[in-house]
């Protein structure tokens, strides 16, 4: 079973790259020979579209998203519709930057979207913590500027963006608990979310990037560009913050502390609670994701999945207790993780996170 | 004294006049009986302030009527009804002012709503009529609270200025109350 998941991904990837290469050639785009983003542990993730890099006929770098599978095609179509809608959203107070779409359509069996490649001077994590703080804060404020509150607003975005309510969060979390074997921490987390259902809904209806991490955005000329629109949803205001802060638990705990403190100092107590609720929710997702990979992995990768589950449950415990995870715990986990990762995955991570 | 604040936006809404109304109510509640009437499902609580919210997801005519009825009830024996601009407050209040002896002070706190009037002639007409029937019109809006950045020193001077502005604003508000 573990090998078959990897083999079927490799086969799909090879065939799809040939199809996308053929489709793009006629439009004047050529794929790069090396595609780091689709190697390593990428096969464990769902998603039936490939995100590739290439060049146009003048040698300018582009990003090509393509798929011949119905689910992948639908994802690309949806992202295109979201872009169009976001440009004309009547109730958005602020807008955010995203790379320009250069081509979109269907050619042979491939649905594709080509966007400009945002060339960074350096990766997000290479900026000083203070610079990272202001860049991230600006991006969060830009997203929060769109708040769908009325029936008319909901009609305008329904079907184009995900709309997440407390009911959905709780139902999802119920699944996370079930998939992860009803661990005590998860049960306590579920009770915590249920108790504050009203807060989860109260701060709902905001535009948020539910996968707001450095590999989904790029910095150019001091502006942050969002690369992946598929994760944009009208949901709890703090879902994007939560994903980002949980990521920073590993990559920049000082930034995690500063942003969390910023919310506590400048926003209401209810908002700070909403942030904690969302962090717990997002960690539940992460734990259940790694629990679901156990069946698809073996050897070092399986041991790594087990370590990850244990680590993120500790992080969840810390948030439930409203404390920060001890740095020694983070350092020990990172050491164990790196020892278990394959070379190919290490390379993919370095490129993804611009390390 | 009993003060009713009628506002189209209130936190968790982030745009003005939401944060302004929350701050104003917090300060006024130290000396007065304050009741906020707004739109929303969930509203951020303030110690000692009553908040009634009309669900924004109701169809437009239903929520306007509900807002008018809620405001009518809340403003019984009120010394001052302080209304923020914006069609969702202006329309119900105008309606009440025609069928009852309803009186109000207009505050121009929703700058976005004022900007939108430029391209909406009907709403402009509504706003102008609403403005004409107001007992007085008040345009002062204190600046937003300075932000605290965890790794920077507290901006003491900015906070001093902020407090001074609010003190002045509450004094202006009190003079409105004296004339109410």
Confidence of residue A47 (pLDDT cuts 50, 70, 90): low
C-alpha–C-alpha distance, residues A216 and A180, integer Å: 27
Greatest distance between any 2 Cα atoms in chain B: 56
A216 contacts A243 by C-beta, under 8 angstroms:
no
Considering only residues A159 and B19, tell me which one the structure prediction assigns the higher pLDDT: B19
Which pLDDT does position A268 carry in this prediction? Answer: 95
- Residue A180 pLDDT greater than 90, yes or no: no
Among A4, A23, A1, A2, residue whose Cα is nearest residue A12: A4
C-alpha–C-alpha distance, residues A18 and B148, integer Å: 53
> Which of A134, A199, A268 to mutate against chain B (most B CBs within 10 Å)?
A268
Min CA distance, B24 vs chain A (Å)? 15
C-alpha–C-alpha distance, residues B15 and B27, integer Å: 20
Considering only residues A343 and A354, tell me which one the structure prediction assigns the higher pLDDT: A343
Which pLDDT does position B15 carry in this prediction? Answer: 87
Which pLDDT does position A355 carry in this prediction? Answer: 54
Give chain B's count of helices (H) and strands (E): 6, 6
Q: Between A145, A203, A257, which is nearest B12 by CB? A: A203
Q: Kindly state the tokens that stand for A113.
A: 């979207």
Which pLDDT does position A147 carry in this prediction? Answer: 82
Residue with tokens 């007085």: B136
Residue with tokens 């009804």: B81
What chain A residue is nearest to B40 in terms of C-alpha separation?
A: A149
Q: Which residues in chain A have Cβ-Cβ distances shorter than 8 Å to B11?
A: 268
Confidence of residue A38 (pLDDT cuts 50, 70, 90): low
Residues ≥6 apart with Cβ < 8 Å to B27? B166, B170
- Residue A6 pLDDT greater than 80, yes or no: no
Tell me the CATH number for domain B2-179. Answer: 3.40.50.2000
Mean pLDDT (chain A, rounded)? 89
- Domain ranges, ordered by start, for chain A: 2-116, 124-352
Structure ipTM: 0.89
State CA A128 to chain mean position distance: 22
- The SS3 call for residue A226 is strand
pTM for the whole structure: 0.88
Confidence of residue A45 (pLDDT cuts 50, 70, 90): low
For chain A, helix, strand, coil in percent to 5 are 60, 15, 25
Confidence of residue A110 (pLDDT cuts 50, 70, 90): very high
Among A119, A7, A105, A5, residue whose Cα is nearest residue A65: A105
A277 contacts A269 by C-beta, under 8 angstroms:
no
- Among the four given CATH numbers 3.40.50.300, 3.90.1200.10, 2.40.30.200, 3.40.190.150, the one describing domain A124-352: 3.90.1200.10
Among A270-274, A303-307, B47-51, B97-101, the range scoring the smallest mean pLDDT is B97-101
Tell me the CATH number for domain A2-116. Answer: 3.30.200.20
């Amino acid at each position: 079973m573990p090998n078959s998941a990897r083999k079927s991904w490799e086969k799909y990837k090879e065939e799809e790259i040939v199809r996308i290469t053929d489709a793009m050639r006629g439009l004047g785009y050529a794929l790069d020979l090396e595609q780091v983003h689709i190697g390593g542990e990428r096969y464990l993730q769902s998603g039936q579209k490939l995100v590739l890099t290439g060049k146009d006929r003048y040698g300018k770098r582009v990003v090509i998203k393509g798929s011949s599978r119905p689910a992948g095609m639908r994802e690309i179509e949806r992202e295109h519709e979201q872009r169009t809608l976001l440009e004309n959203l009547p109730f958005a107070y602020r807008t955010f930057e995203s790379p320009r779409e250069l081509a979109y359509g269907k050619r042979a069996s491939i649905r594709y979207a080509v966007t400009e490649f945002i060339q960074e001077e350096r990766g997000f994590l290479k900026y000083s913590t203070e610079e990272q703080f202001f860049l991230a804060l600006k991006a969060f404020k830009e997203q929060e500027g769109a708040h769908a509150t009325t029936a008319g607003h909901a009609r305008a975005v329904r079907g184009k963006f995900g709309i997440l309510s407390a009911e959905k969060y709780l139902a999802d979390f119920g699944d996370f608990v079930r998939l992860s074997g009803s661990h005590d921490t998860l049960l306590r987390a579920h009770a915590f979310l249920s108790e504050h259902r009203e807060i989860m809904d109260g701060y709902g209806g905001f535009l948020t990037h539910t996968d707001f991490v450095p590999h989904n955005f790029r910095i150019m000329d001091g502006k942050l560009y969002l690369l992946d629109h598929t994760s944009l949803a009208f949901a709890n205001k703090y879902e994007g913050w939560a994903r980002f802060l949980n990521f920073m638990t590993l990559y920049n705990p000082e930034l995690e502390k500063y942003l969390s403190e910023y919310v506590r100092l400048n926003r209401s107590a209810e908002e700070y609670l909403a942030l904690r609720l969302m962090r717990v929710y997002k960690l539940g997702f992460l734990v259940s994701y790694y629990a679901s990979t156990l069946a698809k992995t073996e050897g070092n990768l399986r041991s790594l999945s087990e370590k990850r589950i244990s680590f993120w449950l500790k992080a969840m415990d810390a948030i439930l207790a409203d404390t920060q995870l001890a740095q020694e715990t983070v350092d020990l986990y990172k050491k164990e993780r790196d020892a278990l990762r394959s070379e190919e995955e290490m390379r993919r991570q370095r490129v993804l996170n611009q390390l | 004294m009993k003060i009713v604040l009628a506002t189209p936006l209130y936190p968790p809404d982030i745009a003005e006049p939401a944060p302004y109304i929350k701050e104003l109510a917090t300060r006024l509640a130290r000396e007065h009986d304050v009741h906020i009437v707004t739109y929303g499902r969930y509203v951020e609580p303030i110690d000692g302030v009553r908040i009634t919210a009309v669900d924004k997801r109701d169809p437009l005519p239903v929520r306007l009527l509900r807002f008018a009825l809620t405001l009518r009830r809340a403003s019984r024996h009120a010394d001052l009804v302080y209304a923020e601009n914006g069609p969702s407050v202006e329309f119900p209040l105008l309606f009440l002012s025609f069928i009852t002896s309803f009186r109000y002070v207009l505050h121009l706190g929703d700058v976005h709503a004022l900007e939108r009037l430029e391209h909406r002639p009907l709403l402009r007409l509504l706003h102008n009529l609403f403005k004409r029937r107001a007992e007085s019109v008040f345009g002062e809006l204190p600046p937003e609270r300075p932000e605290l950045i965890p790794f920077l020193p507290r901006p003491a001077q900015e906070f001093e200025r902020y407090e001074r502005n609010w003190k002045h604003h509450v004094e202006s508000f009190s003079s409105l109350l004296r004339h109410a």
